[in-house]
Structure 1
Amino acid sequence: MSLYKKKPVVIEARQFVGDNANLYSIYQWIEQNTAGSFEPLAVIEGKVPCPKSGVSIDPRDGRMMIATLEGFHHVNVGDYIIRGIKGEFYPCKPDIFEATYELFQ
């Protein structure tokens, strides 16, 4: 078995702190850099496939949803939203984020 080390990369990230201004700012950031907003209920109910990218709000509980190649992911308060090296967006739990990334100046 071989051992591997993660390559150092610089990513953009923002933490969702739960207030409306923060939600709006992150939503706009994702919307402007992806395929945009999508209809959440049709995706949740399986009537249409999840888009490859985009953002929406789950009408059942008000949580932000991010569309990824693996499907949609909900964003919870405290999660970091990462813009990856290929421009993709996804949420990351705070403990994983803090163990994986450090502030780059």
Structure 2
Amino acid sequence: MIHKYRKTALIEAEQFTADPKQVFKYNIFPDDNGTGFDYFLLTKEGNMKLNVGDYIATGVDGEHWAIAPEIFEKTYERVD
């Protein structure tokens, strides 16, 4: 039988702007693609491409991952 589940863990998140402070804070590494930079975030699963405007989420164990804005806004609700 299929059941429905709701996420219950709180996360912290901020939108990525490519600000050097964010790049340093999250250990993001930029890669010059010839016309600008591609950004990569180190996650538990390996390197994850990060676009300006994506959200950087931080989980309960301090892990980070990127979430596209349209998915983030459908999935998460601000609580502070």
Q: Same fold (TM over 0.5)?
A: yes
Q: How does 1:1-105 map to 2 (within 5 A)?
A: 1-18=1-18, 23-31=19-27, 55-60=28-33, 61-105=36-80
**Alignment root-mean-square deviation, CA:** 1.7
More helix by share: 1
Structure 2 segments unaligned to the other structure (5+ residues): none
Distance 1:27 1:103 in 2: 23
In the superposition, the TM-score normalised over structure 2's length comes to 0.80
Tell me the TM-score normalized by structure 1: 0.64
1:34-74 CA distance string (max 9 Å, x none): xxxxxxxxxxxxxxxxxxxxx31113342221112222111
**Higher percent of residues as strand:** 2
Percent identity of equivalent pairs: 35
The total of aligned residue pairs comes to 78
